[in-house]
């Protein structure tokens, strides 16, 4: 008899804290709790009976941090940890557990920066692990199942939440507390998890991971990029403070189609003259900020964010500034990533 030795599908699970690792004093308390208490191994323990036998998990604790405390250094730490693991442990896929508050930013950063075709799934929870009806264990089980699926090889970084699969570029947190908080307002999900089966409907269309020019290998810090929020009567103090703080890029979270008030325009003109990149995005939450629409970008020297939200535009601009400085080249990144 010939015996075939099959290597198990190995999934590396990196824990960073957040509500998925949170604990409350009462199982009925879903709002006041301590986040970042359980280790990655602890959060995986309830999944054991439901994991297919051919899947093996490798749990690693990277940090214990609410995601509101993440910084661009945390993103680099995670990218470096995943790249190192990819070489040393050769897993078939990755799951990153983190707080949901800035989950979409980490996911998009990794989507642009990682050099792997293996599935990478970022997952969190809206309720602490101690809640009667905690969403973390099911989200995490689905994340492992998705990361183990050869169907999503080459999809880049995905987020799975409440049985939906999203692409990192498109997903956003849209509710303060509902378990159905994650959505993609413009494009919808890329597929569903159905009792653990991956049901895909489309592929992410923009370039990412192995098809992006961005590399963070050896990089210890990212260029400083800040977000300026627009509102009726806003002054230019924040822009001036960011310039004094040494910012290299400013993302305008603009009204409507990325419009800029005359007060802000004066300050941005000075920024552009100083070589600081200015990207126009919108605070509306959906839609495409059209180039040369609300502002004549060609004349002003600004860049339009395409469909990226202010926080996602900041991620792309930080990486783009590691390669290019001039507005037309930066615009090309926003048109393609």
By the criterion CB under 6 A, which residues form the site for ligand SIN? 18-19, 35, 66-68, 99-101, 124, 126
Supply the DSSP string of 92-108, one letter for each residue: SEEEEE--STTHHHHHH
Comparing every residue's Cβ against ligand SIN, the nearest one is 99
The C-alpha atoms of residue 246 and residue 27 are separated, in whole angstroms, by 46
The two tokens of residue 247 are 């910012």
Closest to 169 measured CA to CA, from 292, 295, 319, 280: 319
The C-alpha atoms of residue 106 and residue 66 are separated, in whole angstroms, by 13
The two tokens of residue 332 are 């090309």
CB of 276 to ligand SIN, least distance (A): 29
Instruction: Please identify, using beta-carbon distances, which residue of 92 and 105 lies nearer to ligand SIN.
Output: 105
CA dihedral 317, 320, 324, 327 (to 10 degrees): -40
Q: How many CB atoms lie under 10 A from the CB of residue 48?
A: 8
- Whether residue 19 lies in the annotated active site: yes
**Residue of 9, 16, 19, 106 with catalytic role:** 19
* Interior angle at CA 330, CA 303 and CA 250, nearest 5: 55
Instruction: Please identify, using beta-carbon distances, which residue of 97 and 236 lies nearer to ligand SIN.
Output: 97
Task: Kindly give the pairing relationship between strand 303-304 and strand 277-282.
Answer: parallel
CA distances from 153 to 92, 117, 119, 336 (A): 9, 6, 5, 21
Buried/exposed code over 225-250 (b: 16+ C-beta within 10 A; e: otherwise)? bbbbebeeeeebebbeebbeeebbbb
Catalytic residue numbers?
A: 19
């Amino acid at each position: 008899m010939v015996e075939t030795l099959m290597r198990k599908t190995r999934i590396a699970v990196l824990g960073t804290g957040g509500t998925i690792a949170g604990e409350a004093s009462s199982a009925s308390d879903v709002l006041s709790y301590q986040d970042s208490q359980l280790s990655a191994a602890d959060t995986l323990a309830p999944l054991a009976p439901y994991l297919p036998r051919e899947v093996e998990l490798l749990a690693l604790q990277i940090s214990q941090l609410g995601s509101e405390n993440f910084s661009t250094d945390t993103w680099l730490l995670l990218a470096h940890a995943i790249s190192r693991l990819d070489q040393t442990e050769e897993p078939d896929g990755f799951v990153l557990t983190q707080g949901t508050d800035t989950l979409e930013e980490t996911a998009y950063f990794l989507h642009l920066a990682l050099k792997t075709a293996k599935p990478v799934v970022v997952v969190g929870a809206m309720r602490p692990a101690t809640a009667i009806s905690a969403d973390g264990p099911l989200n995490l089980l689905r994340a492992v199942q998705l990361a183990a699926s050869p169907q999503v090889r080459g999809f880049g970084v995905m987020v799975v939440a409440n049985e939906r699969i999203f692409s990192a570029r498109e997903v956003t947190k849209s509710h303060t507390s509902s378990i159905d908080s994650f959505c993609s307002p413009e494009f919808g999900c890329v597929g569903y998890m159905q009792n653990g089966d991956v049901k895909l409907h489309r592929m992410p269309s923009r370039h990412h991971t192995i098809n992006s020019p961005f590399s963070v290998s050896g990089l210890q810090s990212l260029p400083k990029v800040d977000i300026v929020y627009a509102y009726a009567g806003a002054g230019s103090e924040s822009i001036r403070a960011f310039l004094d703080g040494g910012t290299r890029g400013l993302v305008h979270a603009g009204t409507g189609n990325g419009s800029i008030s005359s007060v802000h325009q004066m300050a941005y003109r000075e920024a552009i003259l100083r070589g600081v990149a200015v990207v126009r995005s919108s605070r509306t939450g959906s839609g495409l900020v059209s180039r040369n629409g609300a502002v004549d970008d060609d004349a002003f020297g600004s860049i339009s964010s395409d469909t990226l939200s202010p926080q996602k535009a900041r991620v792309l601009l930080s990486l783009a500034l590691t390669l290019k400085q001039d507005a037309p080249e930066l615009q090309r990144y926003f048109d393609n990533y």
